[in-house]
Amino acid sequence: MNKLLLKITLLVAVFALPCAALAVKNILIFGDSLSAGYGIARDASWASLLQQELQRTHPQYQVVNASISGETTAGGLGRITRALQEHRPSIVIIELGANDGLRGSNINAAEDNLGEIIRQSQISGAKVLLLGMQLPPNYGADYTARFKELYPKLSQRYHVTLVPFMLAGIDQAQFQADNLHPTAVAQPQILHNIMPFLKPLLDKP
């Protein structure tokens, strides 16, 4: 009888392990240097702060940060298929386009690239959160306006949640010397900008 009980206990333990693993849901952050934590300690980045917040409020989620400094929408499109296959995320946070804009790249091409990244993420079964970006005014009124409109257009077309501007509320003193990348002090504000839009996706079945 004891041997039978031992076998049952072992079987329960074996089958419980995969179930526990499946209970973990990945959030894939797919961005550039603004999400990779350029110029600051990794633990200070908004992505790391998000993981700390989720440990307190939504422990079933795990953050996977696949952001790369210097990444463009074209580079992201080239990586998204493999990233989705590898991490099988429940939620994908897309933060791309800033480098396209800073280089004066074709906005229509960036729109197509981001659209395909969103589409592939949705096909994989993931919910998508799109982080909006804006450019400094010195890039010209027309180009700056078209770039700003890019994100609402994609949000409406693909029916995804949009954070209007991920860097809202960050003043000039909270940027690094390049005037492009927020300091560690600004990272909580970035997370504050994102969380109201992310939380409904976390709670949604």
Q: Which two tokens stand for residue 156?
A: 């409406």
Cα–Cα distance for residue pair 28/23, rounded to 1 Å: 16
Distances from the Cα of 104 to the Cα of 35, 111, 128, angstroms: 21, 13, 26
Catalytic site residues?
33, 178, 181
Coil/strand/helix, residue 95 = strand
Say whether 61 sits in a helix, a strand or coil.
Answer: strand
Looking at 24-97, list the stretches that DSSP marks H as alpha helix, in order from N- to C-terminal side.
33-36, 46-57, 73-87
CA 91 → CA 16, 28, 124, 165, distances in Å?
25, 6, 10, 19
